[in-house]
Amino acid sequence: MDARALPQELIRAKRDGRALGREAIRQLVAGIGDGRLSDAQVGALAMAVFLRGMDADETVALTEAIRDSGEVLDWSGLDLPGPVLDKHSTGGVGDLVSLVLGPWIAACGGHVPMVSGRGLGHTGGTLDKLEAIPGYSVTPDTATFRRLVREVGVAIIGQTADLAPADRRLYAVRDVTATVESLPLIVSSILGKKLACGLDALVMDVKSGSGAFMPTAEASRELAQTIAEVASQAGTRTTALVTDMSQPLAPCAGNALEVHEAIHLLTGEKRHGRLLAVTRGLAAELLLAGRLADSRDAAVARLDAALASGAAAERFSRMVAGLGGPNDLLERPGHYLPEAPVTRAVHAEDPGRVQAMDTRALGLTVVALGGGRRSPGEAIDPAVGLSRIASLGEAVDAERPLALVHAASAADADRAARQVREAIRVGDGPATPPPLIHDIIRREAP
């Protein structure tokens, strides 16, 4: 169809099931970004895509148009000695991978300009976790951001107004027109923002399980495969992993609690657990995609050396200080990170083993405690949350609780305790947790 057609004619074509060409899609996205398309037209376009779908070429074109709707970061002038790398997750509970992976990759020679988001629904947001650190700024000026990416190797910040502006308007309209669950719109929204960061390679963490964004394991795998293929066709080497979210990834959920957990891993106080295993798996794939290792064994060896030497912890500390946080956070986390006034152990009504969890419900428990948002812009309490969350298959009794609740008041703690008991099913039989990594999908750029 003629790319110069009126927007309503392009919308009509998609409504009637016809494929849109690359220039037609660029015209529509430009109109979304600069306001030439009305909200009614944007909503009609989103509904047409939701109902009729998009083929692979259309989805790539939509992703590239969203990427190009604002500034695309260019790192060529900084003469970086290593590749520009990043990861993205579909979100989960106790998922603080970014806090560990970013500095870990930097310690291995990568440069990570990580543009992250806030909590959404039952999932925690990387920016909310970092803002539990006093002074940490998620909105530095461009010069500071670029300097940290070059000198430290990692900077985790929030999305700027110049990155993929068309996506912000399109997403806002999707949110109120029941079109959020469209695969082409999901993929182009995720990748449009990420690829605008000028990446050499990307690793995508798509969650599957009771705490996942996608409703089924099949839908999670389809999303992972589509993201890997579209990002690669758009010119960025991409690996997508489908990882387990049938229980919280870390044994805690809540902003300050998760920063504590990241520090435990980076400083070597913890050397095991699901969080470390998934983060290592994602980081190894990123080193491979970024040509910083020529085999998975070599990637893992390099990562383990960077962790054991303290190099990854040092990068995290320099990033925090460079973005306004304390320069001795790793040495004195308890001095800086807030603690809730009420802590309460939640025990199962009867002893047994953890058989299953409603991970989404546990995430919503943290939201109800004040650790997440029920409406945009709502203030959150960084101190509240859950810790010592029992794992699938673990024995719980009068000594081993289901979790510890960290709350602002006794009434909040009582309510959260009831919610935790409802979310975790305990029984007599054995229980085997699912594998941490369900699938790995690797794609090269053409």
Q: Which residues are known catalytic residues? A: 86-89, 126, 174, 189, 193-194
- The size of the chain, in residues, is 446
Query: What is the Cα–Cα distance from 294 to 228, expressed in whole angstroms?
Result: 20
Q: Contact 147/16 with Cβ under 8 angstroms?
A: no
Please report how many Cα atoms fall inside a 13 Å half-sphere around the Cα of residue 17, on the Cβ side: 0
**Cross-strand pairs, 405:** 344, 386
In angstroms, what CA-CA distances link 224 with 108, 218, 284?
26, 10, 17
Query: What is the Cα–Cα distance from 254 to 384, expressed in whole angstroms?
Result: 6
Strands 352-357 and 395-396: antiparallel
Residue 324 φ/ψ, nearest 5 degrees: 100, -5
Residue 282 φ/ψ, nearest 5 degrees: -65, -45
Residue 257 φ/ψ, nearest 5 degrees: -60, -40
164 sits in the region (left: phi over 0; alpha: psi -120 to 50; else beta) called left
